[in-house]
Amino acid sequence: MARGNFGERLKREREMREVSIDELTKATRISARFVEALENEDWARLPGGVFGHGFVRTIARYLGLNEESLLGEYDLARSEQAPAPPPKPEERIPSPPTWLAVLAVFLLLFLVAGLFYAGRYGWHRYAAYRAAKEFAAPSLSSQSQPQSGSTLPGSAEQSSAATPLDLSVSTSAATRVRILADSKLLLDAELPAGETRHFSANQQFEVTAGDSSAVLLELNGKAMPPLGVPGASGTMVLSQKDLRP
C-alpha cells in the first residue's frame, strides 16, 4: 500500500530525530503495529475516532512536533481514502475536482463532531439546571413561610446545587489507572489500549495513571490537559472549577 504525505512525513520526522520504532513504542506505550500502520497509512489496522487522534497526539508530543498541525494532516489523509462515487454512464457533465469531494467530507465530519459535542454539553447543562431547580424548590417554599428565630448559618451555601461531574477516561495505550470519586475508590486496575470508562461524582475526581500520555480525560464533555509528561506517572484532581471557561 503506497504511503501518502502524512505517513512519509511522520516517518521522516522520526528518522531525523534518530528515534527507532522500538524506542518510540517503549516511550509512548503505543504498539509497534499501530506506529507502522500510521507511517504506511494502513487505516484498516488503526482504530478511529478519539483513539486514532490519541496516537497521533502522543507521538507528536514525544517527537516535539506541533500536535494540532499533525492532527490536521492525519484527518485529511484519512478522509482522502473515502472513494468518490463513480459517474453515471449517461451523464456528460464532467465530475467535480477531487479536492472538492475531500473538502466536503472534511466539512461534514467537522459538522458532525461539532453537533455531537454541542449536544452532549447541552444535555449536561440541562441536567444540571433540572437538578438545581429541584433542589432549590423546597428551600424557596420553606423560606416563604413565617419562621421564628434566627436563620441557620450556611443556609445560603446549602441552597445552591453543584453540577454533577461526569468523567470519561480513554486509553491510547495499556496503563494502570486509579480513580477516586469524592474520596471513594472506583477503579484501580490495568486498562488495555482502546478502553473507555465513565464515572460520576458530586464534588471531585482524583485520577492517577502509570503513563500520563496514555490517558485522555474529558470532564462533562470538556477535554482536560495531560496528567503529566509522556512516559511518566501523573496525578490530577478535577472539580467544579475545571468546568469554568
> Cα-atom radius of gyration of the chain, to the nearest Å?
24
Distance CA 64, CA 228 (A): 15
Given 63, 79, 95, which residue is the final one in a domain? 79
Given 52, 79, 106, which residue is the final one in a domain? 79
The stretch 105-119 carries a mean pLDDT of 80
Contact 70, 56 (CB under 8 A): yes
Q: How many domains does the chain have?
A: 2
Angle subtended at Cα 209 by Cα 59 and Cα 21, rounded to the nearest 5 degrees: 25
Q: With H, G, I as helix, E, B as strand and everything else as coil, classify residue 165.
A: strand
pLDDT tens, 160-207? 467 899 989 899 989 999 999 999 999 999 999 889 999 999 989 998
Given 25, 59, 79, which residue is the final one in a domain? 79
pLDDT category of residue 57 using cuts at 50, 70 and 90: very high
Q: Is position 11 within any domain?
A: yes
Whether the predicted model's global pTM rises above the 0.95 cut: no
CA separation, residue 72 to residues 79, 80, 135, 225 (Å)? 11, 12, 44, 19
Give pairs for 157-161: CB < 8 Å, separation 24+. 159/135, 160/132, 160/136, 161/128, 161/131, 161/132, 161/135, 161/136
Closest-CA residue to 215 (of 239, 232, 240, 200): 232
State the pLDDT at residue 96.
Answer: 66
